Structure 1
Amino acid sequence: MKLRCALITSILLCITILNSNAQDFNTNDSKWTKGWTNFTPNTTNYPEAEEKLPNIITEDTYLSNNTVYLMSGNVYVIGNAILSIQEGTVIRGDHENPANLIISKGSKLIAVGTEAYPIVFTSNKAPKSRASGDWGGIIIAGSGNVNSVSGNGIIKGDFNPQYAVYGGNNPDEQTTVLRYVRIEFSGSKSKSSSGLSLFGIGAASIIDHIMVSYSGQDSFNWTGGNNNIRNMISYKAEDDDFQISEGFKGDLDQLMAVRHPYINSPKGSFAIEIDGYNKEQGFLKPNAITDVTITNSTFVNLSDNSNYMHTASAISATNSALVYLHNSKISGFSNVVKFDESYTSLAVLERAFKMDNSFFNIHGEGVEVSYKPNAGVLNILKYNRFTKDFVSVDKLFEDPKSKSVPKFQLKKAMNNYMVMQ
């Protein structure tokens, strides 16, 4: 903290406006979360499952909201079949034989809920007994571009390898349509599954309004592919909120990650973990590096002065990944971003990472790098506002721990905070 203060004090400008309670930054940034989300899924009474899904689906299948379905073990959709799910449908995942829904390459998942009637994937346990990692997750394999030398990959885990291939030369395909979907208590460690895993998805896919809560592993995992995705919520994941790798490219708008300092993976957990390429597989072209633009997003660790020491950086960037963060908020973490040894100089950092018109509230230096000397690294955070000293979550935001919809509007106007010039 001393180094951070020493480095930035000389380049700070503090601007105060008369109405310190006004909100002039992303005033309506949480409206899109209302109506379809559930921040207390462990107390929700879902109907008992009535029909078990087959473990192999080979033909077009429609799931109706008149029936509650059970998934037990791996459920594969294969042979170019389309699995369609009606709005308001509930699918419960077996915890004794942890379930995964795997949409194999060439097949398709069409799960279109509505704000009033979202589609829900949840644990088969009773209320108040559900836990992170009760079941597996949703895995979708597409034919989009992957930046490995072979142009494809095999999904890791206990899966049938003939149904676990992803990647190809069809970057414009419609791999899936997912709208207004909740995924609760997924991320089984025995199945090595994230809440929602998208492998090599095509640009024509439609993905918005997805909430993953209490995942035992990553909430979202995007591996290769190309798509513009919006309105994603990760709530209290044990591992990373958004894991992005193998050349995924896209614009990510209105992401929300809500973490707790006591819910972490032993290896470290980040709101964004972005990897430029897979070291084991290599890549062919420099322009195939993972490259994302993140806008209008909120990444919050619900930390205060008693527990902030348990937090890590908000963003982890490895293997030359490229990130642009705009009009977003980061709060409660140790640093804004941590870079691995592939970022070898300030010039490399400035090409790889850009952040502007954003806000951060951290308790560390701000930027963590591997190379020495590391003078000037805080320059990549200029043109953003920040708190001079760490502020506890309840003092910073309007209603961050709400059980209905958390509110992350700043109590003070943005212009009350420091700005790098």
Structure 2
Amino acid sequence: MFRSGRWILPALVATTVVAGACSDDDDPVDTTPDAPAAPVNVVVTEQDGDLMVSWGASTGADSYTVQRQVASSGSSFSTLAADLTATTYTDMTAAEGTGYNYRVIAIGEGGQSNPSDPAYGEIGVRAAVLGGTITGTRQLSADTTYTIAGLVIVEDGGELRIPAGTTLLGSTTVQPSAVIVRQGGQLYSEGTAAAPVVFTSDKVNGTPGRGDWGGVVLNGRSICNFPAGECVGEGNSGPYGGDQLDDNSGRIVYTRIEYAGYEVSFGNELNALTLNGVGSETEIHHVQTHFGSDDGFEWFGGTVNAKYLLATGISDDSFDYSTGWQGKGQFWIAQQDPNDADNGFEVDGNEDNFDNTPYTEPTLFNITLIGKGPNGTGGTSGESTAGMLHRRGTGGQLNNIIVMGFERGLDIDNAETVARIGTGNFALQNSIIFSNAVNFDGDGDGIDEQAIFNTAGWNNREVDPGLTNPFDRSNPDFRPAAGSAATTGAASVPAGDDFFTAVDFVGAVGPGAEEWYKGWTRLTAN
């Protein structure tokens, strides 16, 4: 419409068309639950040698995940436990003296929360001094490190009990330091493959060395071939001997004895482990002596049996037995330090009278003796070492033994020792001697070791046993390769004797067998 020179538009009327009714109550509703909130009040406390993590419950949480970080490492958190329904968790894998950060994540139907704020926890290293005389029962604890300060004497009727995982430090300032068990006393050193008992130097975290401390001595009431009252231990360790063949001095299993062999006076040294007149009810297996300044294992008389023994880096003799020892042994290994060592075996009767009885006559099976290097070379040791030295009227039944890497493989001295062969009291059978500088001693004493070794019916051999890597001092492998000479020609163990394990190989380890000498042991110098 045009009016008075302008267009007039008709008014527009707004019209609403309702297609259908819709109220707020009919809008779609999001029913997905929210994720739970991060847990709060996370606290870490030490309880009985473990770390317990606790936290407040999160609304909507069905379970929790606990994560851990080594505090000083800067590494990321890793899951320690999941699907926990309680609000506590005990970490039984925390190591003494190591700090950890813990955090907790709540898990619910709506997902998982953010991690909680981290909480710190640490098991403090406990320390105690072990010294003096033990007359009753002394129970040690694995969560405490003990310093052996001076002589610890376990008297007749006393017991020293050491649980798996315990560390004992021989003092280098209070000398001599040693554990000495008198006749009638008992030592229970009861480690496991996962948690051995360790006797070591108090310098173990620095630069430990041979002879830092004394060692461990057991004195029993079994046999000795010195006259009554004259069996007295080295290092002023006390009297031993008697007629109680089944005497019981305790139990030593999965135990390491390191850096021992303190010299009490010139020529009067303590060994790593000394067994004086120890009886057959004493249990000894899976024991290592490592970098000792005197002998690794030494028997003076007795009837104790021993299985799975390892002597590494011993500066004197790895295995030394005398004075009428008549026990049993199986699965022993010696590996010498090429720069500081003496004999693999040093074996004697009575040093004053070679015909004294009871004779030294153990029964031994499956032993591996490794000297300084192939063909007896490779080190700077000034000693003229023998793999096996038998003298002074000794005897015994020795079977399935490997000797390699020494200056002399076999040395037999004294007419009384040869006489034991003639009477059947001494035999070396089903054994292998190989790769020594000379396999048989040539000292001009009129004893022909090679002829003795080749005695008819003894079934001995001069042949490569084919061991995998026996001279490696940090990761040795004493197993024979499949098809090597050591996998055949073994002597059978005595029938019906439940101490011995029946095997079909020569030496201390079979082909493809478990390396029993690893895991609970120390193989490097320090």
Q: Structure 1 unaligned segments of length 5 or more: list them.
A: 1-46
* Preserved CA contact (<8 Å) 1:308 1:332: no
Opposite residue 275 of structure 1, the aligned amino acid is D
Stretch moving more, 176-185 or 121-130: 121-130
Moved over 6 A (4+): 416-419
Distance (whole Å) between structure 2 residues aligned to residue 365 and residue 141 of structure 1: 36
Give the whole-Å Cα distance in 1 for the aligned partners of 2:131 and 2:227: 36
Relative to structure 1, the CA distance from residue 261 to residue 126 in structure 2 (aligned partners, 3 Å threshold; closer, same or farther) is: closer
Q: Which amino acid aligns with 1:315?
A: M
Q: CA contact under 8 A between 2:154 and 2:180: conserved in structure 1?
A: yes
In structure 2, give the amino acid aligned to 1:143. R
Cα displacement (A) at 1:416: 9.7
Distance 1:293 1:109, change over 3 A: same
One-letter amino acid of the counterpart of residue 234, structure 2: K
User: Is 2:298 aligned against 1:298?
Assistant: no
Distance 1:123 1:368 in 2: 40
* TM-score, length of structure 1 as denominator length: 0.76
2:144 paired residue among 63, 67, 70: 67
Q: How far does residue 370 in structure 1 lie from its aligned partner after superposition?
A: 5.8
Q: How far, CA to CA, are the matches of 2:304 and 2:212 in structure 1?
A: 29
1:43-82 equivalences under 5 Å are 50-82=127-159
* Count of matched residue pairs: 356
Q: Secondary structure at the match of 1:157?
A: helix
Distance 1:53 1:243, change over 3 A: same
1:203 match: 280
Q: Is the 8 A contact 1:387 1:417 kept in 2?
A: no
Distance 1:126 1:173, change over 3 A: closer
Unaligned stretches of 5+ in structure 2? 1-123, 490-526
Deviation at 1:352, TM superposition (A): 4.9
Structure scoring higher RCO (CA < 8 A, sep ≥ 6) equals 1
Whose helix proportion is higher, 1 or 2? 1
CA distance in structure 1 between the aligned counterparts of 2:324 and 2:339, rounded to whole angstroms: 31
Distance 1:284 1:303, change over 3 A: closer
1:124 pairs with 2:198: no
Structure 2 equivalent of residue 19 of structure 1 = none
TM-score of the pair, normalised by structure 2: 0.62
Match of 1:307 among 358, 375, 378: 378
Superposed, 1:311-390 pairs within 5 Å as: 311-343=384-416, 348=421, 351-361=424-434, 362-368=436-442, 371-372=445-446, 374=448, 376-380=451-455, 383-387=459-463
CA–CA distance in structure 1, aligned partners of residues 447 and 473 of structure 2 = 45
Is residue 346–residue 376 contact of structure 1 (8 Å, CA) maintained in 2?
no
Amino acid aligned to 1:173: D
Range with greater deviation from structure 2 (318-327 or 87-96):
318-327
Separation in 1, partners of 2:486, 2:180? 49
Cα distance change of structure 1 residues 340 and 107 upon mapping to structure 2, 3 Å threshold: same
Q: Residues of 2 paired with 1:120 and 1:150: CA distance?
A: 35
CA contact (8 A) 1:353 1:380 kept: no
Quote the residue 1:400 is aligned against: 470
Task: State how far apart, in whole Å, the 2-side matches of 1:290 and 1:345 are.
Answer: 14
> 1:414 is matched with which residue?
484
- CA deviations on 1:263-317 (whole Å, 9 max, x unpaired) are 12xxxx211111112417x7754xx100012211111114136537955211111
State the one-letter code of the partner of 1:301. Answer: G
Q: Is the 8 A contact 2:222 2:278 kept in 1?
A: yes
Residue identity (%): 25
1:97 aligns with: 174
Which structure: larger Rg? 2
CA deviation after TM superposition for structure 1 residue 87, in Å: 0.9
Structure 1 partner of 2:317: 240
- Say whether 1:111 aligns with 2:189: yes
More divergent stretch after superposition (65-74 vs 328-337): 328-337
Contact 2:355–2:393, Cα closer than 8 Å, also in 1: no
Assess, with a 3 A threshold, how the Cα gap between structure 1 residues 174 and 242 changes in structure 2: closer, same or farther.
same
Q: Distance in 2 between matches of 1:93 and 1:309?
A: 29
In angstroms, what is the RMSD of aligned CA positions? 2.9
Give 1:175's match in structure 2, choosing from 233, 249, 274. 249
Please give the alpha-carbon distance, in whole angstroms, between the structure 2 residues aligned to 1:227 and 1:91. 24
